[in-house]
Chain A
């Protein structure tokens, strides 16, 4: 760079404009591909089968109706509203269990100095790479042995186990950043390890706990295989995913069933996503980049 040009403003300007053009040439098609399915989902939830199959992209102002959504909501076989409540209850249950179980364990491992603790952490982290499809067949065997197959406790325990690798990883790396002086001060005051964790350490873990809750909630909400196989159709307990599968599976070309059911299933998740967007994105980032 020459000294006669103290500011090189003139160069980046045309470059940036070129970049902006490239950016939109790439982005517009990508955004269309991302958003068109969402558009079809919303629009077609209000249309008749004929309107959907003849003009899937059209918005017939006179033909829009709420009755397909109402039918989907009031279907006697699969109550999506009930499925929401069931899934939400499962998400709460799994999150509570997961925190109760992995919080103290992560604290002990993070503060531990012996090799055994590192090995134990390693075992938890291996779980990140084990697909639940691999586990589910022998897990059925274990659950049958314990008499928990097809039961809610059995499902919750397995689903909680699936959250442990990520939670342990997040919690251990976070607790390691907290000063040990906190523990010592608490011990001086006569607190045992349990009290120290729940009273002193856990309140400081708020950000990472929120991250874990978000990841676990998405995990439980979108899980299909485990509720389908462990709870099974026999238990008559449907989550959102298994009830959508039950409702649509046999009517997959009756679009007045497909679109409204999918829309109802998606709306609460999208609302959650819009409210929590920044937390989800930052949670996912911390969840994966420190690996």
Chain B
């Protein structure tokens, strides 16, 4: 009964990971069946590659700002929408719906809003302002991508934090109120410590999610202007893949996987003390 699942995971996850490791030491072009071994060439190239460094910086900015923003907005709105009422259920759906629409469609929709002839540009031009370079200036474009990513993802964090808030015993909140704690004191002394495991889950999920941002970049900027908004995932799929440099792409993919693994494990370990304090 175990066999089919084990075969699938072996064939399409374990073998590919090992294979990616192998291919990252080759010059595979995606066509020839017998790629040539090139040693560490892909990796030395990768660390010297200005495009890779550029993509790493962009990915880092999106990930750090996006993770913070998603979690602050997620927790803040969860606290505002915590009371179960018809209206709050509706409002939760409103912040959550981008998740079911999916990133590629969201990317195209926002590019119609932020683009050079897009909705906001039309309004600004009509008011005789010069349009803002949302997608045409590199720094603005990274900001726009981050904002759209947060827009489309923080609803998930709202839902997860709402679930976390349900785990806070009403008796604790009541006790804090009886002791005369104000809202902020209650939050610091009760809500925040009890919420620790939720915070860990949310941080790790968003972090892992944002390190692989691809579709929104594809639809919003296509990596432009001049490759300045390439994320790491975008570089793997659009540059290396399109250029048939799959060996090099495999080296990039391995690097991304190691970074994601290290960050997810590191963050979980860092949060362990806070998590343990709750169960104690």
**Interface pair A127/B123, CB less than 8 Å apart:** no
Dominant secondary structure at the A interface:
helix
Count, A-B residue pairs, CB within 8 A: 239
- Known contacts: A26-B80, A33-B151, A244-B104. The answer to whether A100 contacts B4 by CB under 8 A is yes
Q: Which residues of B180-198 have CB atoms within 8 Å of chain A's CB atoms?
A: 180, 183, 197-198
CB distance from B174 to the nearest CB of A (A): 11
- Known contacts: A105-B4, A137-B249. The answer to whether A158 contacts B160 by CB under 8 A is no
CB-contact partner of B17 in A130, A252, A281, under 8 A:
A130
CB distance from B31 to the nearest CB of A (A): 9
Which residues of chain B are near A141, meaning CB under 8 Å? 16, 19, 23, 28
CB-contact partner of B108 in A33, A164, A262, under 8 A:
A262
**Interface pair A133/B214, CB less than 8 Å apart:** yes
A208–B120 Cα distance when bound, in Å, is: 44
- Known contacts: A34-B151, A54-B122, A129-B261. The answer to whether A108 contacts B109 by CB under 8 A is no
Which residues of chain B are near A8, meaning CB under 8 Å? 177
Determine if A255 is an interface residue (Cβ-Cβ < 8 Å).
yes
Determine if B236 is an interface residue (Cβ-Cβ < 8 Å).
yes
CB-contact partner of B100 in A38, A56, A193, A270, under 8 A:
A270
| Size bin of chain A's contact surface | 35 or more
Q: Mark interface residues in A3-29 (1 if CB within 8 Å of B CB, else 0).
A: 000001000100100010001001100
**Interface pair B12/A135, CB less than 8 Å apart:** yes
**Interface pair B93/A142, CB less than 8 Å apart:** no
User: How many chain B residues touch A (Cβ–Cβ < 8 Å)?
Assistant: 89
Dominant secondary structure at the B interface:
helix
CB distance from B124 to the nearest CB of A (A): 11
Determine if A234 is an interface residue (Cβ-Cβ < 8 Å).
no
**Interface pair A131/B260, CB less than 8 Å apart:** yes
**Interface pair A281/B5, CB less than 8 Å apart:** no
Which residues of chain B are near A104, meaning CB under 8 Å? 1-2, 4-5
- Known contacts: A26-B76, A194-B1, A289-B163. The answer to whether A124 contacts B257 by CB under 8 A is no
A273–B163 Cα distance when bound, in Å, is: 19
Determine if B25 is an interface residue (Cβ-Cβ < 8 Å).
no
Q: Mark interface residues in B13-51 (1 if CB within 8 Å of A CB, else 0).
A: 111110110010000101001000000000000000000
Given contacts A37-B109, A245-B219, 8 further A-B contacts (CB under 8 A): A33-B151, A41-B109, A52-B122, A101-B5, A218-B102, A252-B111, A253-B116, A265-B105
User: Chain A: residues with CB nearer than 8 A to chain B?
Assistant: 1, 8, 12, 15, 19, 23, 26-27, 30-31, 33-35, 37-38, 40-41, 44, 52-57, 100-102, 104-105, 107-109, 120, 123-124, 127, 129-131, 133-142, 144, 157-158, 160-162, 164, 168, 193-194, 197, 218, 221-225, 229, 241, 244-245, 248, 252-253, 255, 258-259, 262, 265-266, 269-270, 272-274, 277, 280-281, 284-285, 288-289, 291
User: What are 26 pairs between A and B in contact, CB < 8 Å?
Assistant: A8-B177, A15-B183, A27-B80, A34-B98, A40-B112, A40-B113, A41-B109, A44-B112, A54-B122, A57-B123, A101-B8, A104-B1, A105-B2, A133-B256, A137-B253, A141-B28, A142-B12, A157-B12, A161-B8, A162-B12, A164-B8, A194-B1, A222-B103, A266-B105, A270-B97, A285-B160
